[in-house]
Structure 1
């Protein structure tokens, strides 16, 4: 029996709803209101926090602007905002002239901007791209002056702005997306909108039941208070915060049960081009976790709540004082490797005391702006390295402010200020930059970086991802020990390198990871086994293989509203030679996002291979209407035209 034919093709061809993961019995949610009676002080702190107000119903107390008669013009569209019978409405005229009035379903955020959700179909919520600047006042468009037409996947009505799919899980408590791929509809549910008590602590049913018993029996508080998260544990707290404060791919439907190990619920985004600079500095909207994992503070045991108050979600102190909790002449006994010194002094920062340039974050947490006006700090807490600019192409904190100067000037200045610095040493960003430019030539150094456990796991995993792009059998063998690394992120991306191994060796190395304790690792192993030459496995291995494939299927099943998912399904169908399923998958990609040129390219190729040039021309005509400037599609057009010319008598 060939498992590819019996399991993979049947499982992944159309991915029926029956393939979704079954719900497991979990403790009961009770809602934040059930907590406030006993926990009045923390409830008061939480009530006005950005967490509590992350998603609210529209009302005079939650809507930050006056809808009555305000308007927006720009980006090829016009919007008039109004209030009628106590409800909030937006009358939208799109760039194609289409007009529609939308009642505001709900409100997102507090500051520095506020966004509004419209229910465009029953159950489907879309986040509107015209938002309110709560600091300066006034409407603005998230894409500036760029005109995004309604048939573009990036339009606010498109798949990337569907609140149910992309955003709600981090703005709600106890959320389930409940997307039905057969009807392409949502029946999403949540315990409460906003980030409530149980979003971090876990379901409160057991705790509430204990509290009722305690009134009469006085029984002691159970471990972790009866909740599913031990927030007294620093690493558990970090992973719980990372559930939302990270760029990642979710493997389940909605919120994982709080307390779930991060790598059992998500695959973390690596330091990839377009998301991070080569040295790991933030570039795109990647949130905080991937940056924090690179920091020496994380390695030393610092956690989120050392700097941030848990319930107000504000800093524990203002300005440099939050850093001076540890970085001071007194130091902090929790972190004995930290050198006590006066860091909040011109002797250290070399700028006017109290100035913006003298703020710790100005040099060590460079900010970037996202969503038009939202400045967010890089949490890698890095020492400025302008001396690396020539190698990495990354920016540095010095010339970000001194824009009229150069990185060599900044490097010379720092060398004069800190002649005995321990930081002018080789940096992993140099290897990653080389790997981006030429993964084949950099393969050896990428392998060395991946194997060096003194570097952060996200760095080592990125090195493995780059190495996999140019690996050969020798490098795959050299890096095989990393399949047993302690870090699940490293294990998951060590799997990818094994595609370069001889098929039988790949199978023998990956089979153990089909039973890895972390879901993200099992799924990655399953991916790399799709086209493996397996005729038969021993019963125990076959069971692990089927389970891992089921894990992958279930994860994909929760993302059937993502164009990216159907690209994966199309690729799997091609690997298993299921051409109709491949065509169906790529068609769904183009339905969800007509601008996904890679899906059109596959459809043209499939049409040419299965039905001939005329069928390919018909698909190509559709494709060019959606992405007229794509070079590959234009190349197909020229090839088909030449073929037609040759075929003429």
Structure 2
């Protein structure tokens, strides 16, 4: 017999074996044990079969997804999914004490008010997040309604902190999520095809196709795909042709807008078209399926776009701070997790090819890709997409004229595309992140909207006026009218002293950025970061501490950023004395723009004037 005959037989046998394994997966999915009644459950939502049913035929893709943080976005609480040493946990906050205990593989929390007794234990039933921050959810005795445990676990630092102090929100806010908030809001984007299923009062009967973000979130329901491909000849025919399988969606084969929307169904600020759509969404889940051109019951909110004016006017009337809490004044997104708003607003998007997967990939598909663990921890980037290659894959002509375009040496951080066109002006999860809206730096954005411009995010020690002059000389940008401070005081100093909490958080993080330290110098950063350890916003204090630890002499500096005000002041005093007595370079020279005198102390008149002018409006960045 010919070799091709044996090859064909092998393919048929392999396909048949995969079909058998798929049937086993489906059978296992259908033979779940009796579900618990005190938490949301994975249920038999029409058409959905869960990621286990994909594993047999797509083991490689299953393995890379399984290694990703999408999978662990929401998990059932188990000893493996929860933070370590849960059974030893004892915490106190806002007049209450909390004590965890373990019973077999289950964990419970008891709460005791001040001068009171411990209440009945509440089971820890779900956990959200696993990469940066983990938040626990407790049963309530009200069906599948959940209550948030008021502490979050910061993974990198292995520390617990009140949830209200892991977000950039006003210090007087002590409760972040109300009972039932997970059911009514969080599950919209933290599970695959969630159905909130409101019952009455504060009771929910929430169900999901799968916890976490799984295969069917991006590829749509799998049942039709599996049933259609039980026929090995159909599979073989599709395999031998370039025709895609119509029973499943592959975002990589879609045009940019549709591909991006597969991510944007979660990674965007969206709103409902109307109350009927909201009720339908909460009861039956999203109508949107990957590959569609819009979100159906919902729309992506772009504040200054001409669409959905009636809905956006309703939002402005009923929630006046909605846009301020999510966007800069010109409509650019300022909170993390909403990257599709930025991608959609980018000029690159208008060409129809640019999308999330221009730089990221959902599986380890690209040649030269790293190991799964590193890939997951580096935002699932394709190889070299953390470099200029991300932009040069389209802007190929820029390679030969890079220096002429950037006016920086080729090896300088000022010649890195990302640093100028995607600077870190969004914030969330306690750190600054790159904007995903491709733009060019201007001084106007800083003066009119308060957003730190890319030039001064590197050149923290230079003035806004300095940036304006260079942008005018290099790119013929008009020089706007500038205040005396904009011409005399470093932009970084102004933002850290008189900026609002959002600006202060970005600069507190930015002062720890290695590229900025190399360009702007390190010596003058110490007193500003030490002073910011006492900021009224916990998130700002956290970033000041993390940045301070990047400076020589402070790598092991201990600090409890959630401590009471008196303890914060004592820590700042201890840090300042350490700097003056042990660390300060006595030969350091401080640029006058930094408002530091020759002894390394604040110029008192400038410091007090800027500090008294601080923008104290409440900032609540709604991640």
Counterparts in 2 of 1:370 and 1:57: CA distance versus 1, 3 Å = farther
Determine which structure has greater relative contact order: mean sequence separation of CA pairs < 8 Å that are 6+ residues apart, divided by chain length.
Answer: 1
Preserved contact between residue 276 and residue 284 of structure 1 (Cα < 8 Å): yes
Which digits, 9 at most, give the CA deviation of each residue in 1:324-349, with x for residues without a partner? Answer: 1442xxxx4xx4x7633258769737
Counterparts in 2 of 1:358 and 1:139: CA distance versus 1, 3 Å = farther
Preserved contact between residue 292 and residue 379 of structure 1 (Cα < 8 Å): yes
Superposed counterparts of 1:109-124, under 5 Å: 109-120=129-140, 121-124=142-145
1:108 to 128, 131, 150: 128
1:348 to 394, 397, 406: 406
After TM superposition, give the deviation of residue 372 of structure 1 in Å: 4.8
Find out whether 1:72 has 2:91 as its counterpart.
yes
1:165 to 173, 181, 184: 184
The match for 1:308 is: 360
Preserved contact between residue 471 and residue 477 of structure 2 (Cα < 8 Å): no
The match for 1:380 is: 437
Superposed counterparts of 1:329-368, under 5 Å: 332=393, 335=394, 339-341=397-399, 348=406, 350=408, 353=411, 359-367=416-424
2:146 to 121, 125, 132: 125
The match for 2:347 is: 296
The match for 2:327 is: 276
- State the distance in 1 between where 2:359 and 2:235 align: 38
Find out whether 1:267 has 2:299 as its counterpart.
yes
Counterparts in 2 of 1:124 and 1:261: CA distance versus 1, 3 Å = farther
Q: How many corresponding residue pairs? A: 383
Counterparts in 2 of 1:29 and 1:36: CA distance versus 1, 3 Å = same
Counterparts in 2 of 1:230 and 1:308: CA distance versus 1, 3 Å = closer
- State the distance in 1 between where 2:95 and 2:407 align: 47
* RMSD of equivalent CA atoms: 3.4
Preserved contact between residue 133 and residue 152 of structure 2 (Cα < 8 Å): yes
Preserved contact between residue 360 and residue 380 of structure 2 (Cα < 8 Å): yes
- State the distance in 1 between where 2:324 and 2:176 align: 24
Preserved contact between residue 127 and residue 156 of structure 1 (Cα < 8 Å): yes
Preserved contact between residue 145 and residue 179 of structure 2 (Cα < 8 Å): no
Preserved contact between residue 309 and residue 315 of structure 1 (Cα < 8 Å): yes
Preserved contact between residue 164 and residue 176 of structure 2 (Cα < 8 Å): no
Q: SS of the residue aligned with 2:470?
A: helix
The match for 2:463 is: 406
Which digits, 9 at most, give the CA deviation of each residue in 1:50-105, with x for residues without a partner? Answer: 11111112223322332131333345544333433222233334579685432210
Counterparts in 2 of 1:107 and 1:217: CA distance versus 1, 3 Å = closer
- State the distance in 1 between where 2:114 and 2:478 align: 53
- State the distance in 1 between where 2:424 and 2:399 align: 25
Superposed counterparts of 1:195-234, under 5 Å: 195-214=213-232, 218=236, 220=238, 224-227=245-248, 231-234=252-255
Preserved contact between residue 247 and residue 290 of structure 1 (Cα < 8 Å): yes
After TM superposition, give the deviation of residue 319 of structure 1 in Å: 6.2
After TM superposition, give the deviation of residue 370 of structure 1 in Å: 4.8
The match for 1:256 is: 287
- State the distance in 2 between where 1:96 and 1:156 align: 25
- State the distance in 2 between where 1:352 and 1:99 align: 63
Preserved contact between residue 426 and residue 435 of structure 2 (Cα < 8 Å): no
After TM superposition, give the deviation of residue 246 of structure 1 in Å: 0.5
- State the distance in 2 between where 1:194 and 1:39 align: 19
Preserved contact between residue 112 and residue 135 of structure 1 (Cα < 8 Å): yes
Superposed counterparts of 1:6-21, under 5 Å: none
Preserved contact between residue 265 and residue 295 of structure 2 (Cα < 8 Å): no
- State the distance in 1 between where 2:437 and 2:234 align: 49
The match for 1:91 is: 110
Counterparts in 2 of 1:225 and 1:97: CA distance versus 1, 3 Å = farther
The match for 2:20 is: none
Which digits, 9 at most, give the CA deviation of each residue in 1:321-376, with x for residues without a partner? Answer: 3x41442xxxx4xx4x7633258769737379376x66543332233575552543
1:244 to 257, 266, 273: 266
Segments of 5+ residues of structure 1 without an aligned counterpart are: 1-24, 427-649
Counterparts in 2 of 1:179 and 1:348: CA distance versus 1, 3 Å = same
2:389 to 306, 324, 327: 324
The match for 1:143 is: 164
